[in-house]
Amino acid sequence: MSRIGKAPIEVPKGVQVTISDKNLVTVKGPKGTLEQAVDPDLTLKQEGTEITVSRPSDAKPHRAKHGLYRALIANMVKGASEGFVIEQELVGVGYRATTKGQQLQLALGFSHTVTLNLPPEIKVSAAQEKGKNPIIRLESADKQLIGQVAAKLRSLRKPEPYKGKGVRFVGEVVRRKAGKAAGK
């Protein structure tokens, strides 16, 4: 049995979970509303403040989906109640970030500024303190969406191994390489 799949999901106060006939799970909370279609083979039961996911057999597809859907529902419950936050920093001379509503404008050492239009589910803010790297803060209830946007941001200028310049997650350790050895 899947260790993750058999663990019950605790639903905190202020979060409402509804499971429809077609295995459509809807989670409403203070941070937002999320929906997820669950495989029809799996059985979802809601008893009080706990949700359990069970599978019909030990066939490989059922085992694979058991833990997956349990984790997706748990992330929806956490996102609707607390939300998710990802912080990224811009390391490099002249690297800047500014926000205008749902637009994020980045100066990443290219000849032009890069403008990203973010989905309305994500709240973005950019902070610039003197003597420190600019920090971009993303907040959302949807873990998958916020992760995808953060990965897209990082892909615009990945940290390079020689000077460490680029977009990185706060706390990320970039492996550095030694540069070219000095002349004879």
User: Taking Cα atoms as reference points, which of 146, 144, 7 lies closest to residue 70?
Assistant: 7
Mean pLDDT score of the chain, rounded to an integer? 91
DSSP tag of 59: -
| Annotation: CATH topology of 84-169 | Outer Surface Protein A; domain 3 (3.90.930)
Question: How many distinct helices (H) and strands (E) make up the chain?
Answer: 3, 13
What is the DSSP code string of 122-172? -EEEEE--TTS--EEEEEES-HHHHHHHHHHHHHHSPPPTTT--EEEETTP
| Annotation: CATH topology of 3-81 | Outer Surface Protein A; domain 3 (3.90.930)
So where are the chain's domains? 3-81, 84-169
Question: H/E element holding 103?
Answer: strand 103-107
Question: In this predicted model, what pLDDT tens digit does every residue of 57-74 receive, in sequence order?
Answer: 989 989 889 999 999 999
Domain 3-81 and domain 84-169, same fold? Reply is yes
* pTM value > 0.85: yes
Question: In this predicted model, what pLDDT tens digit does every residue of 76-88 receive, in sequence order?
Answer: 999 999 999 999 9
Taking the CA atoms of the chain, what radius of gyration do you get in angstroms?
21
